């Protein structure tokens, strides 16, 4: 069943209130490679990128 327009607007409103967005740019074809790698780890593309950022930030914090 397709998502209604009112549900889409409600989701967009919630996301705008609850989340910040960061746009990254990768070379053509890299997105699919990264996505496939994330899925091989049982993660979404967004979850994988967030996990990498969190791990790097924790590593950096422990080195300081």
pTM confidence score = 0.77
| pLDDT value of residue 64 | 80
Q: Are 44 and 52 in contact (CB under 8 A)?
A: no
Q: Are 48 and 37 in contact (CB under 8 A)?
A: yes
Rounded Cα gap, residues 52 and 54, in angstroms: 6
pLDDT digits (tens, 9 = 90+) for 6-43: 999 999 999 999 999 999 999 999 999 999 999 999 99
Is 90 exceeded by the pLDDT of residue 1? no
Rounded Cα gap, residues 26 and 57, in angstroms: 21
* H-helix segments, the chain: 5-18, 30-40, 45-63
| pLDDT value of residue 63 | 85
- Ordered by start, the domain boundaries in the chain are 22-63
For range 46-59, the mean pLDDT: 97
Q: Are 33 and 27 in contact (CB under 8 A)?
A: no
């Amino acid at each position: 069943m397709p998502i209604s327009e009112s549900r889409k607007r409600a989701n967009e409103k919630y996301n705008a209130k609850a989340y910040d967005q960061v746009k990254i740019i990768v070379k053509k074809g890299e997105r699919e490679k990264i996505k496939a790698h994330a899925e091989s780890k049982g993660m979404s593309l967004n979850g994988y990128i967030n996990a990498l950022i969190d791990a790097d930030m924790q590593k950096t914090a422990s080195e300081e």
